[in-house]
Amino acid sequence: MFRYALRRLLLTVPVLLGLSVIVFLIMSLIPGDPAQAILGSYATPENLERLRADLGLDLPLPQQYLVWLGNILQGDLGRSYALNRPVLDEVLERFGATLLLAGTSLVICILLGVLAGIVSAIRQYGWSDRIITLLVLIGISVPAFWLGMLMIMAFSVGLRWFPTSGMTAAYGGGGILDILHHLVLPAFALAIVAAGVIARLTRSNMLEVLRQDYIRTARAKGLGEGRVVMRHAFKVALVNLIPVIGVQAGFVIGGAVYIETVFQWPGIGRMLVNAISTRDLLLVQGGVLVVAASYVLFNLLADLLQHWLDPRIQA
């Protein structure tokens, strides 16, 4: 297990390095001048050149990347132009809210997706299977941000059950119950698509396992259907589901960018939108890099967990 974990960890190094190159190049291609965005449209050419030199923007692009990468390896993501504070501090401050939203959504999508997939598999071609399949197809087809706006219209504006935006109430909020009250709508809006993917793959894996000979043998021995499904079939199907759950974990973190904008959730997604509008390149680069690295690490954890459950699986 240790050798497998070490090998997989070493394989993530070139992936993270490649991500840093892609993030840096994409940000460098965004039109506009950060110095102009900081000083405004009435800045003199001399002041613009002086600020570009201070920010290192006058260096060749490869040299800018090497300087940025060297600072990252030292734990320094730079300083935000617009906020005038370290990028790492801002990202870490926002990342907690994003993890809360993404983690809650991941738990919801796993519970809903696995339960729906199991029911659909054991009731194959029945009414419950058809209804679940229809709901899954609708859930996968609907964009998360559009679903979020529909939920705001229905449950916030119409029924007034949940708040429309934010993480806490403007006055007198901040408690656990207040945060959970604000968390319900964005978490479910973000979880629906991932739940549909997990449900479809759970169904297909369960159907494949339920057709195996040892399942028929277990039923012939008189074991209860619930024990056959959960202890024999689902335990085997779970091994193949773990990588999918790892991918969906990365999906909910990436999808948080849209949901946080719709619900004004104070996480990394909303921070990135604001940073792009102010041309704050270092803040955008730092935020995107942290999100991309989280995606890679979640998939690494999923691979390690899958190998732990079934040591026969190799990289």
pLDDT tens for 199-239 read 888 888 888 888 877 777 877 877 777 777 777 778 778 88
Residue 193 resides in a domain: yes
297 with 173, same domain: the answer is yes
CB 95 within 8 A of CB 268: yes
Give the mean pLDDT of the chain: 81
pLDDT, average across residues 12-32 = 78
- DSSP alpha helices (H): ranges in the chain? 2-29, 34-39, 45-55, 61-73, 87-122, 127-141, 144-151, 176-210, 213-220, 225-227, 235-263, 268-277, 281-309
- Domain enclosing residue 12, as ranges: 2-73
What's the total number of domains in the chain? 2
In a 10 Å sphere around its CB, with 0-12 CB exposed, 13-18 middle and 19+ buried, how is residue 259 labelled? buried
Domain final residue pick, 40, 73, 106: 73
Domain containing residue 146: CATH number: 1.10.3720.10
Cα→Cα distances 205→57, 211, 226, Å: 52, 10, 17
45 with 157, same domain: the answer is no
* pLDDT over 80 (residue 129): yes
pLDDT, average across residues 162-190 = 83
What are the phi and psi torsion angles at 33 (to 5°)? Answer: -120, 115
Residue 78 resides in a domain: no
pLDDT of amino acid 108: 92
End-to-end CA distance of the chain: 12
107 with 203, same domain: the answer is yes
* pLDDT over 70 (residue 70): yes
278 with 303, same domain: the answer is yes
For residues 28 and 290, which has the higher predicted lDDT (pLDDT)? Answer: 290
For residues 166 and 153, which has the higher predicted lDDT (pLDDT)? Answer: 153
pLDDT tens for 243-281 read 888 888 878 887 777 888 888 888 888 888 888 777 777
128 with 207, same domain: the answer is yes
Distance CA 105, CA 19 (A): 25
Angle ∠(271,76,67) on CA atoms, nearest 5: 110
* pLDDT over 70 (residue 173): no
Domain final residue pick, 42, 73, 104: 73
Distance CA 89, CA 91 (A): 6
Residue 79 resides in a domain: no
pLDDT tens for 137-158 read 888 888 888 888 889 999 988 8
pLDDT of amino acid 288: 83
164 with 67, same domain: the answer is no
* pLDDT over 70 (residue 172): no
* pLDDT over 60 (residue 315): no
64 with 177, same domain: the answer is no
144 with 25, same domain: the answer is no
38 with 106, same domain: the answer is no
Domain final residue pick, 73, 107, 122: 73
Q: How many helices (H) and strands (E) would you count in the chain?
A: 13, 0
CB 197 within 8 A of CB 250: no
Cα→Cα distances 297→68, 73, 271, 291, Å: 22, 17, 22, 10
pTM over 0.75: yes
pLDDT tens for 83-126 read 778 888 888 888 888 888 988 998 998 999 899 988 888 888 88
143 with 67, same domain: the answer is no
